[in-house]
A = this chain, B = another copy of it.
Amino acid sequence: MRDASETRRKIQHEALRLFVDRGVGGTTTRDLAQAAGIAEGTLYRHYESKDALVWDLFSTHYATFAHRLTARASKCETFAAKLAAIVAEFCRFFDAEPVLFRFLMLAQHQALPRITNDSDNPVEVVQTIIATAIGRGEIPAQPTGLAATMVLGLLLQPAIGLVYGRVEPPFSQYAETIATACLKALGSDHHA
């Protein structure tokens, strides 16, 4: 047999690139096959459908990222430290794997109906940490849904700004600024 896992890796890699470049709808199965250097039929030895490929790429990396956020945050005691860790992880991820990051951002909207509100969800991770901080009195009581979306907005919108050249790379240089902005926006007293 030839190395199937290597072929699979190539499909995944090229698919991410093309999806980000042309969008999911703008990428045909022929494009995918050609970019991966395989025949169109081979795609279907590895994935049941184009949609299954998109969903596999999204759900796998989305959950992995959520787990990494949880792991980083759990090593910190205070809310300020947890938040700083999460923001830093976001920035590091964007700088290290911009294609993957952008794919998760663009696929999110079309995949959102299938996303469950569990711990595999970065949004839920942030919201849980905020709820805990409120419980501990580290930040004022406030709707956790609003607070979580504000924090994500402070992260995602600058990321989009980076993609479209409105913000200068690398993203990581703004990690402290953004973390501080999040703390202030949530009304923390402990910010630097």
Contacts and interface: CB of A to CB of B under 8 A. Distances in A.
Nearest to A155: B153
Interface centre among A23, A149, A158, A164 (most CB of B within 10 A): A149
Given A123-B166, A166-B145, A184-B185, A156 B158 contact: no
A41 interface: no
Interface in A32-69: none
A96 interface: no
- Contact residue range for chain A? 35 or more
Nearest to A185: B181
A148 B158 CA distance: 8
A153 B157 contact: yes
Interface stretch (A9-17, A104-112, A129-137): A104-112
A125 to B, nearest CB: 13
B123 A146 contact: no
Contacts of A143: 167-168
Closest 7 pairs between A and B when the two form their complex, measured CB to CB: A153-B157, A153-B153, A149-B161, A181-B185, A184-B184, A25-B25, A149-B157
Interface of A: 23, 25, 106, 109-110, 112, 123, 127, 142-143, 145-146, 148-150, 152-158, 160-161, 164, 166-168, 174, 177-178, 181-182, 184-187
